[in-house]
Amino acid sequence: MTGLTNGDAGSVNKVPTVKFTKLFINGDFVDSVSGKTFETIDPRTGDVIARISEGDKEDIDIAVKAARQAFDSGPWPRLPGAERAKLLMKWAQLIDESAEELAALDAIDAGKLYHMCKNVEVPSAANTMRYYAGAADKIHGEVLKMSREFHAYTLLEPVGVVGHIIPWNFPTTMFYLKVSPSLAAGCTMVLKPAEQTPLSALFSAHLAKLAGIPDGVLNVVTGFGPTAGVALSSHMDVDSVSFTGSTKTGREIMQAAANSNLKQVSLELGGKSPLIIFDDADIDKAAELALIGILYNKGEVCVASSRVFVQEGIYNEFEKKLVEKAKSWVVGDPFDPKVQQGPQCDKKQFEKVLSYIEQGKREGATLLTGGKTVGNKGYFIEPTIFSNIKEDMLIVQDEIFGPVMALKKFKTIEEAIKSANNTKYGLAAGIVTKNLDTANTVSRSIRAGTIWINCYFAFGDDVPFGGYKMSGFGKDHGLEALHKYLQMTALSNSGSGHDNSFLKKPTIKFTKLFINGNFVDSISGRTFDTIDPRTEEVIARVSEGDKEDIDIAVKAARKAFDSGPWPRLPGSERAKIMMKWADLIDQNIEELAALDTIDAGKLYYVNKVGEIPAATNALRYYAGAADKIHGDVLKMNGEFHAYTLLEPVGVVGHIIPWNAPSLSFFIKVSPSLAAGCTMVLKPAEQTTLSALFYAHLAKLAGIPDGVLNVVPGFGPTAGAAISSHMDIDAVSFTGSIEVGREVMQAAARSNLKPVSLELGGKSPLIIFDDADIDKAAELALLGILTNKGEICVASSRVFVQEGIYDELEKKLVKKAKSWVVGDPFDPKSQQGPQANRNQLEKILSYIEHGKREGATLLTGGNTVGNKGFYIEPTIFSNVKEDMLIARDEIFGPVLALMKFKTIEEAIKSANNTKYGLAAGIVTKNLDTANTMSRSIRAGIIWVNCYLTTGSDVPFGGYKMSGFGRDLGLEALHKYLQVKSVVTPIHNSPWL
């Protein structure tokens, strides 16, 4: 019978001496700036263990400054991986040697079973450290054979300063789960442990110091979420945040990241995990798994099997055995080796669990056993099981995080799948059956990140762990966890006449919304003008979609994903349809090129021979990858077999910009289609025409209804509706920082969907004394004037070494003055009009600002002609780095020219920006090229070339240029999520 025990406490029978209670910053234990402390409580007794320094914003600032210095100028990210590995291995050894003390600290601080911590959790933490130590010298990019006369490779670089916010349920495990891969990657960090359980984190910081981790690399700041946690997640100098905890706090962290420097976020937000037990199961084993699944760690586990579904043929016998086992479960002092369950972590959690038990009774569920507290002190609760539950009850919907199980009967496999997926969470699930077909069908059908078959809690360092839906995004464990602390730089280096047959305005065929395979009017009936930037005349009136239309489009996409053929087709069949679509685009290329010319002012011949062929190449590239989406088979440590499945993320929202309508459309749509997703796409309101034409061609190609939906409209209405929609599973956005911030905030406020952002840049082109001056001037001009400077990677900051500066300036100005600005249909024109009046006026205002700030206008600065949105190529010299024209993304044909002396000066100036999208280097010296390319914090580096992209070369930014990659296989994988499936192996001779 359940009861409180006070037996032998084993090797530790008293509260351990608490040695570390101060903040750990820059290698030292220090008091908080405020001098404030807070109590940490023993949940066995409710007594105070110690008073802990209370860090807040000022302390976080100091810790981040230490971490930034350690990253920017310290040894850790610069050490060879093998050297980092040695120090991590030494730290792991110290963990093993300190297992008893760490276990005792977690027992008194979190109420965890001492013997479980000592024998399992602490050794597992040491093994996690060893796993990532072993990976530290295996961080490699790829060499890419591009389809043109260029050579490319990728570098994997540490993301920078990481903020870790960890929960109270597994203090030691979570500490090392976060710290180990980020250290292996070469990052520095600030970690905030839960205020309920700070002791083992501070002890672990002490071990890091003993192991030789350099000062500033690891900082541990104890404190509260609303102060220290908020400061960390909103800090402008933290590059990435990883959080494990509640959905509510995860939402706040994502919003804080969006409000600040748009740092990337990884969230693991708990679950309401189902365990499904079929008629053919071994009833004793199934009851044991069910009880372990909910009572391990007193139910304070994000993957607790809190919803147990049992097939009707064995339900009655199973229920009887389950209740018997629960009643014999031993609750008591966690130092007692006979005890199976200790106290809840703190009084607040204790009272929360009890309130849910009372709620279950009020809602009419049958209490089979438990429901009461145990003993007269401490936070102990009996194992509690409810039956006769309904799926809309709070005890079935909410994550209780305690020893409370909801038990339900089912008949068919279809009913079990539906019930299992009837939750906003998707972290884990268990299946108990002897039937292979049942196991395979259910494991593929449940929308959760980890599936255990005939086992539960079978974790491994090599098995990725993370959630679907509102259980968060990003993976812990496995090499996936290492890669989330790395960012990719792509590097490229170098190695006809015009058809004038289409010179008049094309017929506009498609102006309505494209939803569920049909062109339809908007619900409101409203339309808006799309304007020809050559003449300022109205081309057409386009249906204006808003929230109601987005809702209809999302409903169509959801139905197409949940029950339509597209995600269920073999990849090879999806590929055939995508290839047909690409062929249709080729057949209509002149009309499509003309649409982008009249809608966006783009050069017709460049559209026809460059951008639209590049778009179809992207479509074919991802079509070729659609049947190559494979998971991994993992040989776990122990008697388990695991594999991963890569599954489409679901319904995707794409919001694309106006500067490259065709290319942006297919950069977003192609990989998400190949992955098996369905989608709603909002083109920029300035440039809707080609997107609607592509939707028409998709229909002709055989893309099923509902898979692709195109809704023109405005950002504050249609765009906001996409990014905040509760039934969209991911959003991909390209555009401005301001709008990107709003998109991320909306995703955080709604269903915490993952977001991919490409937010532009202020890209440097660095030209050294040994450069070919004519070629360098040509690259500089091409970099800023391509597409009238309306390009996110425009070389708007050109730094020239002093030895060739004067000559290059002269040639650059001469070339700029001969640059032909005119009608984009004219094959002699090199530059068309800006896309719209707002952009024209914005550029002119920056030119005036440059003059006022004292920059020298070498050429340009005026409009061209009496109508349309044409601007002369504009070059400023004598530019200072704090001028707006040197700091802001102008998105027009305006170049800031600056002189430098040394390579160190060039690196410093290139990195002196909040952006990090691209950079160019012009030099004949290999050492210079290598040093510069490794030193500039940008997502793509061009060496002796510029604007060289390819479908196989990943593209995306560092810093406030966003996160996530377009192009390359990385783009395909951002529309896939990883499901880990684990099953036991019995008596294999090969283990």
pLDDT at 495 over 70: no
Scan for tokens 């220290």, then name that residue. Answer: 228
pLDDT at 40 over 50: yes
Q: How confident is the model at residue 492 (pLDDT cuts 50, 70, 90)?
A: low
Instruction: Considering the candidates 157, 647, 685, 758, report the single residue annotated as catalytic.
Output: 758
Strands of the 518-520 sheet, one edge to the other: 518-520, 513-515, 708-710, 678-682, 651-655, 730-734, 755-758, 962-963
Q: What is the mean pLDDT of residues 16-24?
A: 95
Label residues 617-650 b or e (16+ Cβ within 10 Å = b): bbbbbbbebbeebebbebebeeebbbbbbbbbbb
Distances in Å between the Cα of 820 and the Cα atoms of 403, 660, 785, 809, 831 are 74, 21, 11, 19, 6
pLDDT at 498 over 70: no
pLDDT value for 168: 97
CA-to-CA distance for 164 and 141, rounded, in angstroms?
Answer: 26
Answer with the residue of higher pLDDT: 491 or 214: 214
CA-to-CA distance for 387 and 398, rounded, in angstroms?
Answer: 16
Q: What is the mean pLDDT of residues 558-585?
A: 96
Q: What is the mean pLDDT of residues 400-408?
A: 98
pLDDT value for 497: 33
In 834-954 the beta strands, taken as DSSP E runs, fall at: 856-859, 874-877, 894-900, 918-922, 940-943
In 221-263 the beta strands, taken as DSSP E runs, fall at: 240-244
pLDDT at 527 over 90: yes
Structure tokens at 226: 């609303």
Q: What is the DSSP string of 946-978?
A: -S---TTS-B--SGGGEES-BSHHHHHHTTEEE
Q: How confident is the model at residue 9 (pLDDT cuts 50, 70, 90)?
A: very low
* pLDDT tens by residue, 827-881: 999 999 999 999 999 999 999 999 999 999 999 999 999 999 999 999 999 999 9
* pLDDT tens by residue, 318-329: 999 999 999 999
CA-to-CA distance for 460 and 458, rounded, in angstroms?
Answer: 7
* pLDDT tens by residue, 438-449: 999 999 999 999
Label residues 895-927 b or e (16+ Cβ within 10 Å = b): bbbbbbeebeebbebbbebbbbbbbbbbbeeee
Q: How many residues does the chain have?
A: 991
pLDDT at 331 over 50: yes
DSSP-derived letter for residue 117 is I
pLDDT value for 13: 53
Q: How confident is the model at residue 182 (pLDDT cuts 50, 70, 90)?
A: very high
- What string of H, E and C letters represents the secondary structure of 21-37? CCEEECCEEECCCCCCE
CA-to-CA distance for 662 and 599, rounded, in angstroms?
Answer: 11
Is residue 792 part of the annotated active site? The answer reads yes
- What string of H, E and C letters represents the secondary structure of 139-182? CCCCEEECCCCEEEEEEEEECCEEEEECCCCCHHHHHHHHHHHH
Is residue 677 part of the annotated active site? The answer reads no
Decide: 800 and 899 in contact? Cβ < 8 Å: yes
pLDDT value for 989: 63
Task: Tell me how crowded residue 727 is: count the other CB atoms within 10 A of its CB.
Answer: 15
Mean pLDDT, the chain, integer: 94
- Side-chain half-sphere of 483: how many Cα atoms within 13 Å? 14
The one-letter amino acid at 776? A
pLDDT at 10 over 70: no
pLDDT value for 152: 84
Answer with the residue of higher pLDDT: 144 or 646: 646
pLDDT at 932 over 90: yes
pLDDT value for 501: 35
* pLDDT tens by residue, 933-974: 999 999 999 999 999 998 889 999 999 999 999 999 999 999
Classify 987 as helix, strand or coil: coil
Q: What is the pTM of this model?
A: 0.91
Distances in Å between the Cα of 692 and the Cα atoms of 593, 657, 676, 730, 765 are 13, 15, 21, 22, 36
Q: Assign residue 702 a region (left: φ > 0; alpha: ψ between -120 and 50; beta: otherwise).
A: left
Instruction: Considering the candidates 187, 302, 677, 792, report the single residue annotated as catalytic.
Output: 792
User: Which contacts qualify for 716-722: CB closer than 8 Å, 24 or more apart?
Assistant: 717/545, 717/546, 717/547, 718/545, 718/546, 718/547, 718/549, 718/550, 718/682, 719/655, 719/682, 719/743, 720/547, 720/746, 721/546, 721/547, 721/550, 721/551, 722/550, 722/554, 722/653, 722/655, 722/680, 722/682
pLDDT at 494 over 70: no
